């Protein structure tokens, strides 16, 4: 009888420790997401106010705002799904490289191999998006309990399996 009570107590302690650990991890997770989202929004607002104060806006400034937008969307998607949307990281990289390319060209730097390297990197990242999208549609990894998108008869889609990233 004593062994059964001790085993039951051990299981209860284990369940309590696991629940407390999950609570602490999830609390930290949400606090960090809120902090990252707030810092991203703050940086975007401050950058926008700097543009207004400066009195003119360049294409570099607009692309920087797109980077902030993509980072904010990435945080929002991660907050909702607990999955890091890799595509958005690649979009941020493409936008950053495009911003660098436009900045280099617009400041009248002489054309050199740097322009070719930047455009090659952008092309490589665009190809990476193609690969990620193809792989996520062919090899879905997330099952959805209640999908939000509509699937029609004969559409070939399975409502329990997400195709692609959100």
**Residue 163 is assigned to a structural domain of this protein:** no
Whole-number pLDDT of residue 160: 42
**Residue 16 is assigned to a structural domain of this protein:** yes
**Residue 162 is assigned to a structural domain of this protein:** no
**Residue 155 is assigned to a structural domain of this protein:** no
**Residue 159 is assigned to a structural domain of this protein:** no
**Residue 91 is assigned to a structural domain of this protein:** yes
**Residue 145 is assigned to a structural domain of this protein:** no
Whole-number pLDDT of residue 155: 47
82: left (phi over 0), alpha (psi -120 to 50) or beta: left
Residue showing tokens 């400066």: 54
**pLDDT tens digits, one per residue of 110-139:** 778 888 999 999 999 999 999 999 988 888
Residue 46: C-alpha distances to residues 94, 108, 117 (Å) = 23, 28, 32
**pLDDT tens digits, one per residue of 56-85:** 888 888 888 989 998 898 888 888 887 777
Mean of all residue pLDDT scores within the chain: 82
- How many domains does the chain contain in total? 1
**Residue 143 is assigned to a structural domain of this protein:** no
Range of the domain at 30: 2-138
pTM metric for this prediction: 0.64
């Amino acid at each position: 009888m004593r062994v059964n009570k001790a085993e039951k107590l051990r299981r209860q302690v284990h369940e309590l420790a696991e629940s407390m650990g999950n609570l602490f991890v999830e609390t930290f997770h949400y606090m960090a997401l809120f902090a990252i989202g707030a810092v991203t929004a703050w940086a975007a607002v401050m950058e926008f106010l700097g543009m207004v104060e400066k009195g003119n806006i360049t294409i570099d400034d607009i692309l920087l705002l797109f980077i902030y937008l993509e980072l904010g969307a990435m945080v929002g998607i991660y907050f909702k799904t607990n999955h890091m949307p890799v595509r958005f990281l690649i979009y941020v990289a493409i936008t950053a490289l495009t911003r660098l390319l436009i900045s280099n060209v617009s400041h009248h730097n002489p054309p050199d191999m740097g322009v070719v390297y930047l455009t090659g990197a952008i092309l490589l990242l665009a190809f990476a998006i193609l690969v990620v999208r193809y792989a996520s549609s062919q090899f879905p990894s997330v099952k959805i309990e209640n999908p939000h998108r509509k699937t029609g008869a004969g559409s070939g889609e399975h409502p329990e399996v997400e195709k692609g990233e959100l």
